[in-house]
Amino acid sequence: MKAKDLRELEPGELDLRLKERGDALRNFRLQMATASVENSRAARNARRDVARIKTIMRERQLAAQKKAK
């Protein structure tokens, strides 16, 4: 998922995507423990998506604080 696409989403949708990617990461870790991993890059992609989403949420939070001042 690209940052450009994420920036177009509403805050509620970002929260939903963050939860989905977090769940995907937990599922991947469970699969790693049971040695049934099909895609070894899934965890890396999920971590990066989580980081992108959190970064965009923080940017919006800082922009809102700046406007309030």
Residue pLDDT, tens place only, 11-55: 999 999 999 999 999 988 888 888 877 777 888 999 999 999 999
Residue ranges of domains in the chain, CATH in brackets? 3-68 (1.10.287.310)
Residue pLDDT, tens place only, 3-15: 899 999 999 999 9
The span from the CA of 47 to the CA of 36, in Å, is 19
Three-class secondary structure of residue 1 per DSSP: coil
pLDDT at 38: 77
Tokens of 15: 């929260």
pLDDT at 16: 95
Residue of 6, 13, 5, 4 lying closest to 53 (CA atoms): 6
Q: 22 near 48, Cβ under 8 Å?
A: no
Quote the pTM value.
0.84
